Structure formats: structure tokens, C-alpha cells
Amino acid sequence: MRDVLFLPLYENEELVIAADGSAAIGLKELDLVCASYETVSYFAARVALMEALCVGAEPLAAVLQNFNGDESWGALCAGVRQALLELSLSLPLVGSTESNFTTQQSAFGITVVGKVQNKQKRMGITPRHAKFAVIGEPLVGDEVLKKQDRLLPLPLFRQLLSRSEIFELVPIGSKGIWYELQQLLNDNGLTASSCYCPLPLHASAGPATSLLISFQPEMEEAIRKMTNRYFFPIEIVQ
């Protein structure tokens, strides 16, 4: 199952809710990864927005949960707006800040609310003859900051969303490529005993630094050309 909640809205439409959060990443003394709050919120927003967009949803609003003090609010909003800008989106932002108590480590959460027409839902539509690939490398923690040239850029993600030859797109999370591939296959009544990919199959992709896609086999060369050095094929073993 995807990390997205669907709730009935109207007869042919559903509410879509996607969320992400981070802890011990920020500017507090006990944080494990030092990063600006703009960077923290950018990558959290990236995950929640990608989750919603990948299932065909239209994002409507974002809700921020801030545990870093009032002084960080502006930077957190700026990071979310940067992610929106790279995706050519504009959403209202609302949220809350914990101002009664001071935390020892940074924490931030974001929830994206959207809607999707049932007929536009991009799930369970991968056919048996599809091929698979990973776009971008799995990175986590300091790697995300040090190797940004290896993670999937949001403008490229936006282009991939619009390609009809791509059946489904799945952001890769902390459980890695193999886990997400198994979930995608299961959703489509397919199976694999193992697979081969040039990337580590069980490495965390942190803030969705890489993306799993299923696509029409005859369009592989066009997708490779579009994604260039970010393209990593997956060979399924039945």
C-alpha cells in the first residue's frame, strides 16, 4: 500500500492525505544532522507532495507542524514554497508552532491535502509486460546535503508525471528499492523472487531522493534520454 490515505469525498472523487516529518535534523545543538530549517522543510514537503502527486492527486493545501520555535517559521514556510515552485504549484499554507516548551532537538512535520478523481487514480495500472527503473539514487542524512547532484530533481519528477508511457510512480522511502518494488508488484497482482539493479536494494532513500517507475518497454530509450544519469534499470527475476 502507498503511504497515502484516501477518504470518500463525492461520488467520483476522493480526498487524498499525505504526510512526512523529520526529527534531529536542524539547527539545535543536539541535532544529528545540521541543516537550515528551509532545507528541512523543503525535503519534508518534497516527500508529501511527491506521494500525493504520484497517485494522481491535485494538492489543495499544506499543513505545517513546527517544534523549533517561532523564529523558525519563516524559514520553514520558505522551504515548502521552494518545493512548490519547483513543481509549478501554489498552495495555501497553515500550521502550528509549539511555543510553550523548548525542545532539545529539531522536529518538523507536514501534511498535504488534495483530491483525486477516481478515474485519474494512478494505482494498480501496471501491466504484466511493463519494465521498471529507479530514477535518482537512494540517499539519507548527510548524504542528501553532500550529494545533491545524485538525487531526483523535482522539475524532472514533474516531467515524468506527465509522460503517458509511464504507468506508475512510487517515491522510494526508508525501506528501500526492493520493498517498494514488492509493494508495487503486489498492488498489480504481480510477483518477483528477486531483482537486479545497479543501486543498493535495501538502502534508505531518505526524503524520496529516488523514484520507482513502471513503464512501456518500447519507450525505455526515450525515458533513458530524458532522465540521463539518473536512470537505473531494474531486471525482474520471476
- 238 residues of the chain, pLDDT tens digit each: 467 999 999 999 999 999 999 999 999 999 999 999 999 999 999 999 999 999 999 999 999 999 999 999 999 999 999 999 999 999 999 999 999 999 999 999 999 999 999 999 999 999 999 999 999 999 998 999 999 999 999 999 999 999 999 999 999 999 999 999 999 999 999 988 889 999 999 999 999 999 999 999 999 999 999 999 999 999 988 7
Element housing 186 (H / E): helix 176-187
Beta carbons within 10 angstroms of residue 116's beta carbon: 23
Cell of residue 51, nine digits: 506521494
Please list the residue range(s) of the chain that carry CATH number 3.30.1330.10: 4-120
Distance, in Å, from the CA atom of 26 to the CA atom of 33, rounded to the nearest integer, reads 6
Cell of 9: 469525498
* Secondary structure (3-state) at 40: helix
pTM greater than 0.85:
yes
What's the pLDDT score for residue 3?
79
Please give the pLDDT value at position 122: 94
- The pLDDT, as a whole number, for residue 154 is 97
Cα separation values, 161 from 129, 201, 214, Å: 20, 23, 12
pLDDT of residue 23: 96
Contact 48, 18 (CB under 8 A): yes
CA atoms within 13 A on the CB side of 15: 9
Which parts of 66-212 fold into alpha helices (H)?
73-86, 142-146, 154-161, 176-187
Q: Return the C-alpha cell found at 175.
A: 525501506
Please choose, from the candidates 210, 222, 153, 214, the residue with its C-alpha nearest in 3D space to the C-alpha of residue 185: 214
Write down the pLDDT at residue 238: 74
The CATH number of domain 4-120, selected from 3.40.50.300, 3.40.50.720, 3.30.1330.10, 1.10.10.10: 3.30.1330.10
Q: How far apart are CA 171 and CA 198, in angstroms?
A: 18
d(CA 225, CA 177): 22
